[in-house]
């Protein structure tokens, strides 16, 4: 499933989030998809005529890191994260819980209509939050963010990873442009792209909202992985 995350489209991270909230995939698989998500990097690289070899190298590094950290997370955290997921009829309970939250009445109206209602609710939610985030980024100014990074290049992976957590394509656009302009190195670029999960985090806090502490833990874990991987990569690339 990590391979789908490489595709320049944040829909796969949203789909993986829904599967995770439904207890159909593990936390390691979710993290792997998030880490491998490339968002707007590929379109920008193509539009700027960047060498294909560099793009492939970055994607391969992200894919390898995604798979690696996915296995590590599952090995270490899976049994702790699944706090109440080993109870009887767990999947049925989760389905009922999600239906109640989305008011889709799937047991009464059928799976097709319920899916449409669920999709519409998520779409409206993402649209509203995205507008808010765009307004905030617009108020701050992308140039302000870029200037801040330029003045703190030595903190590259730390700052890039933090910006990458913004659940919006603007994050990957800013980070990718800074790399193209030689403001940050490849390690810092990868750090920001690792933490950039597209709208996945937005969907996570929507569909898994009753477990907000777990969601915050996933965000924190993503940030630590992004920073750690970036600092290590600076020694080799």
Residues 171-215: tens digit of each pLDDT: 888 889 889 988 888 999 999 999 988 788 888 988 888 888 889
Average pLDDT value for residue range 125-129: 70
State residue 230's pLDDT score.
92
The pLDDT value given to residue 82: 57
Q: Provide the residue range defining the domain that includes 186.
A: 2-233
Euclidean distance between CA atoms 96 and 135, whole angstroms: 35
CB atoms within 10 A of CB 107: 11
Please tell me the predicted confidence (pLDDT) of residue 173: 84
Ranges 55-69, 88-102, 205-219, most confident? 55-69
Kindly give, in sequence order, each residue whose CB lies less than 8 Å from that of residue 1, ignoring residues fewer than 6 positions away.
Answer: 16, 25, 29, 32, 33
SS3 of residue 23 by DSSP: coil
Are 108 and 31 in contact, with CB atoms under 8 Å apart? no
Number of domains observed in the structure of the chain: 1
For the entire predicted model, the pTM comes to: 0.78
């Amino acid at each position: 499933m990590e391979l789908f995350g490489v595709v320049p489209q944040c829909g796969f991270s949203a789909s993986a989030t829904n599967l995770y909230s439904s207890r159909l995939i593990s936390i390691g698989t979710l993290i792997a998809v998030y880490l491998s998500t490339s968002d707007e990097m590929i379109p920008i690289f193509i539009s700027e005529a960047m060498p294909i070899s560099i793009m492939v190298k970055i994607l391969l590094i992200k894919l390898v890191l995604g798979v690696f950290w996915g296995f590590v997370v599952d090995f270490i955290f899976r049994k702790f994260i699944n706090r109440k997921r080993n109870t009887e009829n767990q999947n049925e309970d989760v389905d009922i819980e999600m239906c109640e939250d989305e008011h889709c009445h799937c047991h009464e109206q059928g799976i097709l209509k319920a899916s449409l209602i669920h999709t519409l609710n998520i779409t409206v939610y993402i649209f509203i939050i995205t507008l808010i985030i765009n307004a905030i980024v617009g108020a701050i100014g992308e140039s302000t963010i870029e200037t801040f990074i330029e003045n703190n290049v030595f903190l590259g992976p730390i700052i890039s990873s933090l910006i990458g957590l913004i659940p919006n394509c603007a994050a990957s656009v800013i980070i990718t442009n800074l790399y193209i302009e030689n403001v940050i190195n490849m390690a810092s670029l990868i750090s920001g792209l690792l933490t950039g999960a597209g709208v996945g985090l937005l969907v996570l806090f929507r569909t898994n909202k009753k477990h907000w502490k777990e969601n915050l833990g996933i965000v924190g874990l993503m940030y630590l992985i992004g920073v750690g991987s970036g600092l290590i990569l600076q020694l080799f690339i």
